[in-house]
Amino acid sequence: MPVNEQVTDSVTQVNTKVVGETPAMAMGNLLMSTGQALGTAAHNATNSQQQAQITMQAATVQGVNSLMSIGSSVIGRSAEGIIEKDA
């Protein structure tokens, strides 16, 4: 059974259109996924910096606390030495 030429022309045109649009669609999908990945990477970097800042601040506080406690013990030992020399 023969097929009408208008049908074959229509199918050919649709196939040509789809094949012609494929590179543009692929690039669009690539750009979208790349943009999503870069946005996620920037978010993760910001979050990591915030967490690192909190950790560094906690370490600084612990260091200052250690220095302060060491200072008072040194003062106590020095005072003890002075008092014992006088006695």
pLDDT digits (tens, 9 = 90+) for 25-45: 999 999 999 999 999 999 999
The answer to pTM > 0.85 is no
CA distance 73 to 83: 15
pLDDT of residue 55: 96
Query: What pLDDT, on a 0 to 100 scale, did the predictor assign at position 71?
Result: 65
Which of 21, 85, 40, 10 is CA-nearest to residue 77?
A: 85
DSSP string, 10-76: HHHHHHHHHHHHHHHHHHHHHHHHHHHHHHHHHHHHHHHHHHHHHHHHHHHHHHHHHHHHHHHHHHH
Average pLDDT, the chain: 87
The predicted model gives 63-78 an average pLDDT of 75
